Amino acid sequence: MSCTSDAPSRSLRESGTRTASKPGSGILALAFTVVLGGACTGQIVGEGTSQNRNGTGGSMGSSGSGGSPSKPGSGSGGSTQGSGSGGSTQGGDGSGGSMQGSDGSGGSMQGSDGSGGSGTGGAGTGGAPPVPLNMGGVTLRLLTQSEYLASVQSLLGTLTTPMDLADDTSVAGFAEVGATQMSVTDTAATAYETASLAATTEVFADSKRWQTLVGCTPKADLSDACVTTYIKTFGRKAFRRDLTAEEVQQWLGVAQNAATLAGTAATGLSFATAGMLQSPNFLYRVETNKVDPTTGRLKYDGLSMANRLSYALTGGPPSTALLDAAAAGKLDTADGVRAAAAPLLADPAVVDHMVAFFSEYAQAQQVLAVSKSTTLFPTFTAALQSSMLQGTQLFLKNVVLAPGADVRSFYDSNQTFVDAKLAPIYGVKAPTTSGFSQVQLPATSGRAGILGQAAVIAAQSQPDRTSPTRRGIFILESLLCTTPPSPPPGVVTDLTVDTTLTTRQQLEAHRSDPKCAGCHTLFDPMGLALEHFDPIGKYRDTENGLPIDATGTMGTTSFDGEAQLATALRQNPAVLTCLLRNFYRSVNGRAEDDEDLDQILSLGETLSADGYAWTTFLADFVASDAFRSAPALPIMTGSP
Amino acid sequence: MGILNDLKVSRRHALRGIVSGVGVSLWLPVLDAMCNESGTAFAAGAPLPTTFGVFFWGNGIHPGTLWTPTATGDGDAWQLPPNLKTFGDLNLKADMTLVTGLDMMDAQFKGHGWGVVYVLAGGDGTICNITADISKSPYGNLPETSKGTQWKPTIDQLVADAIYVNEPFKSLETGILKYTGQNMGTASLNLAHIGPNMPLPPERDPAKLFNKLFGMGAPMGQGGLPIDVSNKLRRSVLDAVLNDAKRLQATVGSTDSQRIDAHMESVRSLEMRIPATTSTDPATPPASTCVAPKTPTEKAANLDLTQVTATSKAINKLIAAALSCNLTRVYSHLWSGARDDNHYPIIQLDTEHHALTHSDAAANAEAAQIEKYIMDQYADLASTLKGTSIGATTLLDNTILYGISDVAEPSSHVMKNYHIVLMGHAGGKIKGNRHYRKTGRKVTELMLTLQQVMGMKITSFGSWDKTSTTMPEILT
């Protein structure tokens, strides 16, 4: 996609137009909770200068009435209601209308969720004359840390030496998206050199090990034919394609030169091998696609599909069998991809990789990064943080991704995993065996699914308080793919801390003041449903001696506490679409665009048809257009 | 030294045999032998290389009695405000230029994500004159989302591009506190960026920073390999890597091509740090101003916030050591990022910084205590630089540090009245001991002047508040 890397992608705000044109069409209408427009500019009724545009699409509730329309002059905009896009600015019929809202003047600045693409955002001028579309090309995706480690392990086997790599850069929630955009810094290049040499030094210090790897015991000057064979064979696995004759000569030369200078075959091969691990041919996944005239989409070539398949499913490199299949044209059809994927899907690495995806999606890893008040939470030590993360990963692996399991258990399962440290946080008995055990959360715990996981709650809390707003926004953005606008100009956002009140009571202004309520009703109720969980995720009945009220309403749905909220979320089709959007993002290494809409919606239907079993879905996913091709995005000439 | 200009032409050969024809290791500190009699310039008459630094902290300042001196002018005409008191205690007032009253465009409400783009990169590349214009930028909606980043190179990278000769590191990025919140993209976790989603992550771990700067001497590869052989082999490998990069570059589009360029740049920098000869043991830098410090034992701050002062001091010492050994001429220190959400148990504060700025008067007073604490650490950095001599001058005299925050006043988020704490004299170009205040002037005017002070031949700067107006009021 050589040109689309320069092309902005239109923001998903335009999707509102599309969904709105099919009012009431169930999943379609719900699917894209569109970005809020200027709903929260803080104008109150009667002021007449409202910039209000549309309400958001359904964040909660089933097909109900459309969003309340914003009429000129009315300030309350954005409804949290049910299906469909919100009203138009032209007055009251609520059936569509332009979603140009966020582009307007006057300080409403939102937050479209869709302007990704590698590097440049979208200018999104709906209605402009047709723009030339990209015809395909090459995209480079840097290996993420875990992909690098998996790839090295696949090539050299398990290593004991620590590999200290530069951190991943997360963009749009995923390291995979960052990896498609970031460049290799001086620090990173240095780290690659140190890591690769450490790895090969370990391997080549052990003669049996390296001779097995190389496939022979060459002479000290590496003049044997088997050395050339090694370069070709290892190189093919490392670069995930055949080497050119020039490349073979180059790396052979490096090996032989090194062997001469160092005096041993092992050192020569060690340096050459380490070199190939520093080559951009190893460090970047290369994806090449070309426009398919019958579909108008950019179809990935066989070799790209081999790479995409293996990294998407296992997080690791393609086997030589898969590379062979690619070379034989077997990955050019949906059936071929499906057949090639079948043995891959049996690999336990797939479940582990999916655990990693769901964990990244829920930002569970953040629990390791946050600090808490040691006065209030002395038990929140590094050890507890580690247990929290591990508990969540075990939940994902053994409950959500258990064979045949319904993936929607991610939202509302009453099962989790605890060790002795975590048990008190969840209010359950410590396991009798050491390590982790699966437990059923009692109904009284009010705790279910991912939002009940201590790692997630602790990561979305402050050092000394809960922050329902932060938690609510996390749910809105992560689980509902909706971005709220920023606070409007001039609004006073100060919260006076009053320890004679609960947090909910202290946030009363969010509900009673129309300037605040317009936006806060979109997320506060969900955040407040979590108020029984303190800043480290432990259940509490009271706060400051007062009973906690965790009731809330979003649209027509009411809930009391997180477990009930979780049930409501599970039932909302928009939530599953949002999951698929994020999965799509992670697999493709780019934030989704308008043009990906239909694909994602159709994936939702596939998931449902697969009984929501994630591994079954994966088999269909990899054979889909969404995975085997990319949309042809418009080419933008010139950028700021 | 005319040599410095010649060096630019051939970086690979630059540092061989510079001093009296004797091969030296790559670390080339400013040796006394290279200087003129008064130690103020290189023997051939060119001035000692000036260095450029950025000290960034999150969540702004509380203007007024704590931060804004009532008087302006030079020397005794003005007094340090209470939150900058430690600079006075450490005898650093003479080295400070305090600039207050600066705005971002029409000084409207806007947030941390836009502020950090403005004060570090002068905007995102779209020409904006009033805050409302930001909505016409294709990136205008992205700050304060998970896609927030810098769309233009940050000022430290612009300076580094212009002044880098052949130092082991084109720029040095360090940091203390790591943002743990949501939706700031790369722009709060990282200060320096070379482009969108191309951050140069800061090193926050003192031991890792030490290794990066001073731990490069050991041989790599098989045990027992002599160091000069190891070095040769490493270079030969990196040459092959560069060849692969060049070939790959020919197959990709323009954005990826730029990424490969950056990658090759990085590999070349790494290769240049591999000593070319073995006539000196590279593990021991030549005697002079360059004194390799001891290996630090302090941990990264976020691992134990109660030890943050010790971590800060350790990193400050390493920054000074890096500069005194001429390891870099451009450095940036991300004390805390835009909208930082860390708390400060070190001063008995359990509520996170950002939340304190959006609460009542008592909480804001606590936020101001955090600001004072941060300024104390800035003063420690400046003091450490002042205490490190090079020739007859000091690192502080020879540098200019741009001390800035993402927002001006944090409670209202009205981007008005930025307070910028400049430290150092840029080799004499900046007088110091001055408070300059002119309300309504723009931060980009200051940024333009700072770049000119560093010798850049530019006449305008910025995209938000694009300006050709300079700020000679800070100059000597």
* pLDDT tens for each residue of B228-251: 999 999 999 999 999 999 999 999
A494 and B359: CB-CB below 8 Å?
Answer: yes
Q: Which A positions 430-459 lie with beta carbon below 8 A of chain B?
A: 459
The string of DSSP letters for A316-339 reads SPPPHHHHHHHHTTTTSSHHHHHH
Residue B245 with chain A: CB contacts under 8 Å: 279-280
Chain A residue with Cα closest to B190:
A169
Per-residue pLDDT at A123 exceeds 80: no
What whole-number percentage of chain A has pLDDT above 90?
70
The 10s digit of each residue's pLDDT in B40-87 is 555 455 556 899 999 999 999 999 999 999 999 999 999 999 999 999
Our CA-based measurement puts residue B196 at a distance from the nearest CA of chain A, in whole angstroms, of 6
Task: Map residue A124 onto helix, strand or coil.
Answer: coil
- All structural domains of chain A with their residue ranges: 51-133, 143-294, 301-346, 358-571
Per-residue pLDDT at A196 exceeds 70: yes
A189 and B411: CB-CB below 8 Å?
Answer: no
Chain B residue with Cα closest to A474:
B182
B201 and A111: CB-CB below 8 Å?
Answer: no
Q: Which of A241, A248, A240, A272 is nearest to A259 (CA)?
A: A272
Chain B residue with Cα closest to A171:
B147
Give the max Cα distance, chain B. 66
Torsion, Cα of A324, A327, A330, A332 (10° steps): 140
Per-residue pLDDT at A195 exceeds 90: yes
* Token pair belonging to B377: 């650490």
pLDDT at A344: 96
Q: What length does chain B have? A: 476
Chain A residue with Cα closest to B218:
A194
Name, in order, each residue with C-beta under 8 angstroms of A545's C-beta and a sequence gap of 6 or more.
none
Task: Map residue B414 onto helix, strand or coil.
Answer: strand
- Is residue B59 within 8 Å of B353, Cβ to Cβ? yes
Strand partners, A136: A290
B255 and A5: CB-CB below 8 Å?
Answer: yes
Q: Give the closest of B254, B262, B411 to A6, CB-based.
A: B254
DSSP H or E run through A140:
strand A136-142
Per-residue pLDDT at A155 exceeds 90: yes
Q: Pairing between strand A542-543 and A546-547? A: antiparallel
Suggest the residue from A371, A386, A501 to mutate for an interface test with chain B (most B CBs closer than 10 A): A371
Per-residue pLDDT at A33 exceeds 90: no
Per-residue pLDDT at A1 exceeds 60: no
Suggest the residue from B222, B234, B274, B344 to mutate for an interface test with chain A (most A CBs closer than 10 A): B222
Amino acid, res. A408: R
DSSP H or E run through A36:
none
pLDDT at B149: 98
What whole-number percentage of chain B has pLDDT above 90?
81
Chain A residue with Cα closest to B253:
A2
A375 and B132: CB-CB below 8 Å?
Answer: no
Task: Map residue B98 onto helix, strand or coil.
Answer: strand
Chain B residue with Cα closest to A274:
B237
Chain A residue with Cα closest to B140:
A109
Residue A37 with chain B: CB contacts under 8 Å: none
Mean pLDDT calculated for residue range A272-295: 96
Our CA-based measurement puts residue B372 at a distance from the nearest CA of chain A, in whole angstroms, of 21
Number of alpha carbons in the 13 Å side-chain half-sphere of residue B350: 13
B240 and A254: CB-CB below 8 Å?
Answer: yes
- Is residue A149 within 8 Å of A163, Cβ to Cβ? yes
A172 and B146: CB-CB below 8 Å?
Answer: yes
pLDDT at A613: 97
Q: Give the closest of A173, A246, A486 to B146, CB-based.
A: A173
The string of DSSP letters for B106-125 reads TT-B--HHHHHHHHHHSSSS
What whole-number percentage of chain B has pLDDT above 70?
87
**Confidence bin at A565 (pLDDT 50/70/90):** very high
**Confidence bin at A77 (pLDDT 50/70/90):** very low
- Strands of the sheet with A284-291, listed across from one edge: A136-142, A284-291, A298-300, A629-630
pLDDT at B284: 42
The 10s digit of each residue's pLDDT in A300-349 is 999 999 999 999 999 999 999 999 999 999 999 999 999 999 999 999 99
DSSP H or E run through B5:
helix B2-9
**Confidence bin at A144 (pLDDT 50/70/90):** very high
Q: Which residue has the higher pLDDT, B219 or B406?
A: B406
Q: How many Å apart are CA B144 and CA B181, to the nearest integer?
A: 11
Q: Which of B436, B437, B396 is nearest to B91 (CA)?
A: B396
**Confidence bin at B372 (pLDDT 50/70/90):** very high
Q: Give the closest of A169, A266, A463 to B352, CB-based.
A: A463
The 10s digit of each residue's pLDDT in A362-390 is 999 999 999 999 999 999 999 999 999 99
pLDDT at A42: 33
Mean pLDDT calculated for residue range A487-514: 81
Chain B residue with Cα closest to A124:
B138
Residue A264 with chain B: CB contacts under 8 Å: 222
pTM for the whole structure: 0.86
Q: Which of B461, B436, B442 is nearest to B451 (CA)?
A: B461
Q: How many Å apart are CA A618 and CA A620, to the nearest integer?
A: 5
| B361-386 and B308-324 helices, crossing angle to 10° | 30
Q: Which residue has the higher pLDDT, A478 or A87?
A: A478
The 10s digit of each residue's pLDDT in A173-183 is 999 999 999 99
Suggest the residue from A182, A207, A243, A515 to mutate for an interface test with chain B (most B CBs closer than 10 A): A182
Mean pLDDT calculated for residue range B311-328: 96
A184 and B262: CB-CB below 8 Å?
Answer: yes
Q: Which one-letter DSSP state was computed for residue B324?
A: H
Per-residue pLDDT at A5 exceeds 50: no
Task: Map residue A227 onto helix, strand or coil.
Answer: helix
Kindly report which listed range (A109-113, A190-194, A299-303) carries the lowest average pLDDT score. A109-113
H helices present in A346-400, as ranges: 348-361, 382-395
B253 and A270: CB-CB below 8 Å?
Answer: no
Kindly report which listed range (A503-517, B198-212, B276-290) carries the lowest average pLDDT score. B276-290
Residue A372: count other Cβ atoms within 10 Å of its Cβ: 24
B135 and A204: CB-CB below 8 Å?
Answer: no
A204 and B259: CB-CB below 8 Å?
Answer: no
Q: Which A positions 463-492 lie with beta carbon below 8 A of chain B?
A: 463-465, 467, 470, 473-474, 477, 483, 486, 488-490
- Is residue B385 within 8 Å of B424, Cβ to Cβ? yes
Our CA-based measurement puts residue A570 at a distance from the nearest CA of chain B, in whole angstroms, of 24
Per-residue pLDDT at B468 exceeds 60: yes
Task: Map residue B463 onto helix, strand or coil.
Answer: coil
Q: Pairing between strand B393-394 and B198-199? A: unpaired
Q: How many Å apart are CA A331 and CA A309, to the nearest integer?
A: 10
Burial of B328 (0-12, 13-18, 19+ CB in 10 A): buried
Per-residue pLDDT at B189 exceeds 80: yes
pLDDT at A157: 98
- Average pLDDT of chain B is 89
H helices present in B325-352, as ranges: none
Task: Map residue B48 onto helix, strand or coil.
Answer: coil
Rg of chain B's alpha carbons, rounded to an integer?
22
Our CA-based measurement puts residue A186 at a distance from the nearest CA of chain B, in whole angstroms, of 4
The 10s digit of each residue's pLDDT in A568-604 is 999 999 999 999 999 999 999 999 988 898 999 999 9
- Is the CB of A102 inside 8 Å of chain B's CB atoms? yes
**Confidence bin at A127 (pLDDT 50/70/90):** low
Strand ranges (E), A419-494? 437-440
Q: How many Å apart are CA B305 and CA B293, to the nearest integer?
A: 24
B201 and A257: CB-CB below 8 Å?
Answer: no
Task: Map residue A255 onto helix, strand or coil.
Answer: helix
Residue A250 with chain B: CB contacts under 8 Å: 240, 243-244
Per-residue pLDDT at B10 exceeds 50: no
The 10s digit of each residue's pLDDT in A603-638 is 999 999 999 999 999 999 999 999 999 999 887 654
Suggest the residue from B106, B128, B237, B331 to mutate for an interface test with chain A (most A CBs closer than 10 A): B237
A109 and B141: CB-CB below 8 Å?
Answer: yes
Residue A488 with chain B: CB contacts under 8 Å: 109
Residue whose pair of structure tokens reads 């108008």 in the numeric block: A296
**Confidence bin at A129 (pLDDT 50/70/90):** low
Name, in order, each residue with C-beta under 8 angstroms of A333's C-beta and a sequence gap of 6 or more.
none
Residue whose pair of structure tokens reads 């052979």 in the numeric block: A252
Residue B257 with chain A: CB contacts under 8 Å: none
Strand partners, B405: B57
Residue whose pair of structure tokens reads 């591999």 in the numeric block: B274
Per-residue pLDDT at B223 exceeds 90: no
Mean pLDDT calculated for residue range A1-29: 33
Name, in order, each residue with C-beta under 8 angstroms of B240's C-beta and a sequence gap of 6 or more.
A250, A251, A253, A254, A275, A279
Q: Which residue has the higher pLDDT, A77 or A332?
A: A332
Q: Which one-letter DSSP state was computed for residue A403?
A: T
Q: Which of B121, B56, B113, B119 is nearest to B334 (CA)?
A: B56
Q: Give the closest of A120, A275, A371 to B138, CB-based.
A: A120
Q: How many CB pairs under 8 A join A and B?
A: 291
Q: How many Å apart are CA A600 and CA A468, to the nearest integer?
A: 30
The 10s digit of each residue's pLDDT in B102-157 is 999 999 999 999 999 999 999 999 999 999 999 999 999 999 999 999 999 999 99
Strand ranges (E), A263-414? 284-291, 298-300
Q: Which residue has the higher pLDDT, B212 or B8?
A: B212
Burial of B243 (0-12, 13-18, 19+ CB in 10 A): middle
pLDDT at A356: 98
